[in-house]
Amino acid sequence: MSWTSLPRELKLQIFETIIQDCYGNKRPQRGLASLAAVSIQWQAFFESWTFRELTLGQSDLSAFSDITEGARKVRLRYTRRLWLRVKLNTYDSLVCRLPEDEATIRSNNAIFTGAVWNLLTILSAANGSLHGRGITLELSAYSPSDLHHCYRDFKMADEYPFITKDDLVDQNVFDRYHETRAAEQATHRSHTLDDMKRFRGTEPLSLISVQSGSIQYGVRGAARRLPRVNIVTGLILRRHSYRNISTGALEMLIFQSFIGLEMLRDEQWRPVEHEQQELVRTSYFSNILRGAYTLSRLYVYQDNDRGLNQDNPMTRDIGPGRQLAAKSLSLTELSIGPEIDSTGFLWEFFPALLKKYGYPYFFWPELRYLALSCPDLRATEKGFNQQAIDNVLRAAASAASCMPELMTMELWYGDRWSTALFRYSGKTDPPTVTWRSNWKNSWGFDLIWSKEVKEGWKETATVYLDYTREPDFSIEPLDEVGSQIWDSLGRGVVRHLELKEMVLDPVSLKEVEWEADHGTSLWKETCLPKRNRRASHLRRIRSKKRSVSHAQLLIPLTRATRQRNIALCKEYMSIAYSPTDNKGGSSVQHLCHPDSWFWAPATFPGCETPMDYADSHAAVMASVADLSIVRFDQAWAKDGHVLLRYTAQGSHCGEPYKGIGSTGRRAQWSAAAIFEVEGGKIRSFTKDWDQKTMQIQLGWAPVEESDDPRWNAKALGNPEESRKNKG
């Protein structure tokens, strides 16, 4: 039986079996190109996989043009998502903490412009050929050097495997990958604000003038606009790309090129420089939405880095929200947060303004899903502002009365201490109105539904949204614990939203959830202003405390923090046990607090600090010149403690030891180390060492050879066999 005679259903089963058997749940398009060459039918099927999701750099665009030009542009029908990763100039350690100079900025803008222009030119050739299907384009830019200097986020690496929702099929795979990479990337040198001037302080990338004579796009010197591309229906800028793209560049792309854009997702980080913040704040929504007539879905998630933005904290500004309310009347889905104050979106509907001016001329005829971050939904241990929250919830009810198609509205907020969300859901009759927060579990109080809030939502549901029954109201606790809220800056609340995959791209959402569970902060005490760091340091030195308080050591730590603590202690031991790296106390000083202490009086008399231990060990390694750690038998952390049990080996092949000449004898022994870690540095080190085993094997112990396994060099050299010897 020939291939052509097989039923279509059987062919499809064979194709799917090939994909599953060969590649499992891995990204299959990386190895399917050869299968597409078997026949025309095989080509059509397997190219639908290979072209479904594409990741391209600017160096790939020439080949991409060749395989999609002319009649081959039909391949773009298969493309659902295309990610353009623009590779910028590299830099070295001499400038990694300095802002980019003007020449570098111009060069990077030229690289970015050229890559975007070339891609748009390729895509424009396929205009009108996709028969109603469109491409979602993701844009990002990075320097290969970004991953090797101050801010080492493994999610920037080329080999990061989680790109789309399809890559998230196995939660265990995601967790293991992130736990492993987080432990590998952990550094024990705290970042300072000055460290990040290049990576996070450089102005956002811009599209340079297309009339530039130094870069030729078509007719030299002629006034040109960006190529018009109607097959791009979605544009994404995700949060794991730290190089921002300017509002002006987005404006040009939307107005000049993406004439069929339906969806915009912008997850770029909040700018560091105050001037950039003001530019985004004053012009983003008014400029981006002006003339974007085809846009129906807008998702903006602007997060901040608490270390970088501490000199320019977020201030309440309802202006952007008010602009958004006026410009969003044609949207079907809208999500804004968390560093953008969305209260302004509801401002015209606040009770006092409605009473004075009446209803505004706002009407959202097609808006179905709405998610807004709202700083008024906050509390502290001292309580919350019931009146402010009531005003917001009443304004939300009034605004909902102007949204006849509304299915779900969620207002939410999270900071280091509190998380809360409000949800209206019209998926059932009666609809539901829900309040959830961590307040009850944290402080013992919670919101109370006011009469005005209930009446407002009852009227909206039954009069304006045509439900036959009044809403059901409920108050439920959030199960966020204190450490999760602190580590995620409250962003973990997003996982509890019904509209969470609207608020964040699915991969970004999974990353935020992981950060909430495992910790996010690479910032330590050195992110404080210098005068505060100095004062804190002096207080510790003057107090001369020799131990960490019990309460401090029992603070629950995230898994990522525990892994970083283990990596710190392993780094210390690796240096201490290295004949080449251990130059004495100065070799490990950067890993320890200045007033740290060491305890092992029986085996290391006279050693009072971890630096003293390194000095003593360096002296021993002058004799045991090939000393090394064979393996770490156990390594675990709990709260502020780390335990390492390890096996070491070496031979007396160096200098004489206390008058004993080089014997050449070899030894293997075990030891245990208990560390206390505070603020990313070692506070104390307690050592338990099988000294007798080592010294007898090396011939250093003042004893005679014996058949007793407790004193027999051969038995001590093979402890596993000795423990089985019942004699």
* Distances in whole angstroms, Cα of residue 631 to Cα of each of 507, 561, 613, 614, 649: 36, 22, 20, 19, 10
Rg of the Cα atoms in the chain: 31
Q: How confident is the model over 9-59, as pLDDT tens digits?
A: 666 666 666 666 555 544 444 455 555 555 555 655 556 667 788 899 999
Alpha helices in 214-263, H assignment, sequence order: 247-252
Dihedral-angle region of residue 132 (phi above 0 means left; psi in -120 to 50 means alpha; beta otherwise): left
The two three-digit tokens of residue 283, written as one number: 């012009």
**C-alpha span between 60 and 547 (Å, rounded):** 57
Lowest-pLDDT choice from 156-170, 244-258, 643-657: 156-170
Residues 117, 289, 222, CA angle at the centre, nearest 5°?
30
**C-alpha span between 365 and 443 (Å, rounded):** 41
Q: What is the CATH architecture of 548-722?
A: Roll (3.10)
SS3 379: strand
**C-alpha span between 619 and 700 (Å, rounded):** 15
| DSSP 8-state symbol, 349 | G
User: Locate tokens 């085993």: which residue?
Assistant: 693
The residues near 278 (Cβ < 8 Å, ≥ 6 apart) are none
Rounded mean pLDDT, 457-486: 84
The residues near 66 (Cβ < 8 Å, ≥ 6 apart) are none
Q: Which is more confidently placed, 136 or 555?
A: 136
Burial group, residue 354, by CB count within 10 angstroms (0-12, 13-18, 19+): middle
Which percentage of the chain shows pLDDT scores above 90? 37
**C-alpha span between 641 and 562 (Å, rounded):** 9
User: Locate tokens 């003057």: which residue?
Assistant: 542
**C-alpha span between 147 and 166 (Å, rounded):** 26
State residue 190's pLDDT score: 45
State residue 269's pLDDT score: 86
State residue 298's pLDDT score: 96
The two three-digit tokens of residue 425, written as one number: 């859901």
Lowest-pLDDT choice from 82-91, 485-494, 583-592, 665-674: 485-494
103 pLDDT band, cuts 50/70/90, is: very high
Cα 138 to chain centroid, rounded? 17
Burial group, residue 49, by CB count within 10 angstroms (0-12, 13-18, 19+): buried
SS3 178: helix
Contact in structure between 321 and 345 (CB atoms under 8 Å): yes
Q: How confident is the model over 143-182, as pLDDT tens digits?
A: 988 887 766 778 888 888 888 888 887 788 888 888 887 7
Q: How confident is the model over 395-426, as pLDDT tens digits?
A: 999 999 999 999 999 999 988 788 999 999 99
The two three-digit tokens of residue 613, written as one number: 């231990």
Rounded mean pLDDT, 518-532: 42
Cα 329 to chain centroid, rounded? 33
State residue 530's pLDDT score: 38
Contact in structure between 395 and 435 (CB atoms under 8 Å): no
Work out the mean pLDDT of the chain and round it to a whole number: 80
Rounded mean pLDDT, 636-652: 90
Beta-carbon-side half-sphere exposure of residue 93 (alpha carbons within 13 Å): 2
State residue 531's pLDDT score: 39
Q: How far apart are the two ends of the chain, measured CA to CA in Å? A: 74
Contact in structure between 183 and 225 (CB atoms under 8 Å): no
Residue length, the chain?
Answer: 727
For the chain, the structural domain boundaries read 548-722
**C-alpha span between 300 and 336 (Å, rounded):** 5
The two three-digit tokens of residue 354, written as one number: 């409605």
Alpha helices in 186-294, H assignment, sequence order: 247-252, 274-288
**C-alpha span between 687 and 123 (Å, rounded):** 65
What type of residue is 105? I
| DSSP 8-state symbol, 189 | S
Contact in structure between 53 and 163 (CB atoms under 8 Å): yes
Q: How confident is the model over 211-246, as pLDDT tens digits?
A: 444 444 443 333 468 999 999 999 999 988 888 998
> What is the strand order of the sheet 666-678 is part of?
592-599, 681-689, 666-678, 641-651, 628-638
Residue 685 above 60 pLDDT?
Answer: yes
The two three-digit tokens of residue 685, written as one number: 């080190």
Bridge partners for 635 per DSSP: 644
Lowest-pLDDT choice from 35-49, 619-633, 639-653: 35-49
* Distances in whole angstroms, Cα of residue 222 to Cα of each of 107, 120, 219: 21, 18, 6
**H-helix or E-strand spanning residue 239:** none
pTM above 0.75, yes or no: no
**C-alpha span between 269 and 304 (Å, rounded):** 6
State residue 687's pLDDT score: 92
